[in-house]
Amino acid sequence: MQVDYPTLAAVIESLTEGEDDPIALMATVACEVHHSDDRFDWTGFYRVVAPGLLKIGPYQGGHGCLSIPFERGVCGAAARTGEIQIVPDVDAFPGHIACSSTTRSEIVLPVRNGKGELIGVFDIDSNQPDAFDAEDARALDGILRSVFGRLRG
């Protein structure tokens, strides 16, 4: 099964309409995205809880790392730079944090509220190498902007 992004976006939009609680939104997005594609082995959010620090938020899949400093790993790189990270081979990523031994590739997207403030990152791991591409980045970024862009902080 491979994700149908237009349908996924419409479902998420419908489920989250009128909701302004960031944790409820994260839980809904993580669940819907996780179950939309067989490539998605771990799907979840890391929330900004202090300057330079991410903590686990709602997720689907096995256990995740509890805390990630901005200086470490793929999630930290996305938070630090504000740029989408697509990693075809996690073993080749300097400073990769191995939260799961089955992860082979990863995509991490910054999540911003309507004021443009970084509130977290959205992390998807795959047990397949080179599982993510520019289309995944574009579509997932659009979903995140639509859902979290309505939050005012």
What residues make up the domain containing 107?
Answer: 5-148
pLDDT reported for residue 75: 95
103 is a domain residue: yes
The pLDDT value recorded for residue 101 is 72
Q: What's the number of domains the chain is made of?
A: 1
Crossing angle of the two packed helices 5-16 and 22-34, in degrees rounded to 10: 150
b/e for 68-86, b at 16 or more Cβ within 10 A? bebebbbbbbbbbeeebbb
pLDDT values of the chain reduced to their tens digit, one per residue, 153 residues: 789 999 999 999 999 999 999 999 999 999 999 999 999 999 999 999 999 999 999 999 998 889 999 999 999 999 999 999 999 998 787 766 767 677 889 999 999 999 999 999 999 999 999 999 999 999 999 999 999 999 987
Q: Is residue 80 part of a domain?
A: yes
Q: Evaluate whether residue 153 is within a structural domain.
A: no
39 domain residue, yes or no: yes
Total-model pTM = 0.95
Q: Hey, what amino acid is at 42?
A: W
133 Cβ contact partners less than 8 Å away, ≥ 6 residues apart: 86
Q: How many CA atoms lie within 13 A of 119 on its CB side?
A: 21
In a domain, 90, yes or no: yes
CA distance linking residue 58 with residue 44, whole number of Å:
6
Q: Tell me if residue 28 falls in helix, strand or coil.
A: helix
At residue 77, the pLDDT reads 96
Outline where DSSP puts E strands in the chain: 42-50, 53-60, 67-69, 85-87, 105-112, 118-126
18: in domain: yes
> What CATH number is given to the structural domain containing 86?
3.30.450.40
